[in-house]
Amino acid sequence: MRPFIVAVAASLLVAACDLTPPAQPKAGPAAEATSNTARAGAFAHSQTGDLSGYYLPGAQVGPDDFQLTTVFVGQEPEFRDWEDGKRSATFAPVMLEFLVPGEQTERVLPESYSVSDGRVRMTGTSPEHGRVTFDARLDQGALSTARRNLGEGEASAMTAVVVIGNRTWSGVKLNWQGGD
């Protein structure tokens, strides 16, 4: 009788400790988004339309020795590459360009960004001027008009707050231009 009790106890113990791994959820849009977010870290984009182009400020933004000249927003493949870790030391899907003394430009690449149909946010660092943040609202109507008119839109496509170091420029208007 004793071997029978040991066999029954062992069977119950094995049944209680199901060694089958738990079922994994099927990969779908939600699972892929979670995976992309984990890979991307501080980089995310969710725009459904094409926001690509150059956005130019209508007035001086920044101190005399570090003036914002261009905000660049890239296309979908550039965002995917960046978020997949394929990064350049000189180019990013969202970046800011500044005019520095000597008619030179300095690019500030993102340490983080978030881009959607209605907003573009980015943070980066300039070696000389420290932390740079850009937070803009997009006006889709003005962007559409500018695209139709090849950059000759009447209204600003973006309105932003730009912070360079400890100084803030609010209400910065930027017009869209397609580029070269």
pLDDT tens for each residue of 71-127: 999 999 999 999 999 999 999 999 999 999 988 999 999 999 999 999 999 999 999
**DSSP line for the chain:** -HHHHHHHHHHHHHHHS--SPPPPPPP-HHHHHHHHHHHHTTEEE--SS---EEEEESS--S-TTSEEEEEEE--HHHHHHHHTT---SS--SEEEEEEETTTEEEEE--SEEEE-SSEEEEEEEETTTEEEEEEEEE-HHHHHHHHHTTT--SS-SEEEEEEETTEEEEEEEEEEE---
d(C-alpha 78, C-alpha 80), whole Å: 5
The average confidence (pLDDT) of the chain is 81
d(C-alpha 58, C-alpha 70), whole Å: 10
Span 129-136, average pLDDT: 97
Which contacts (CB < 8 Å, 24+ apart) does range 5-12 have?
none
- Give the model confidence (pLDDT) of 154-170 as tens digits: 789 999 999 999 999 99
> How much is the pTM?
0.75
Of 84, 86, 68, residue with least CA distance to 122: 68
Say what the pLDDT of residue 165 is.
96
Say what the pLDDT of residue 17 is.
38
Of 99, 105, 98, 95, residue with least CA distance to 134: 95
Given a contact cutoff of 8 angstroms between Cβ atoms, the answer to whether 2 and 9 are in contact is no
pLDDT surpassing 70 at residue 40: no
d(C-alpha 166, C-alpha 162), whole Å: 10
Span 8-12, average pLDDT: 39
Q: Locate tokens 């849009």: which residue? A: 29
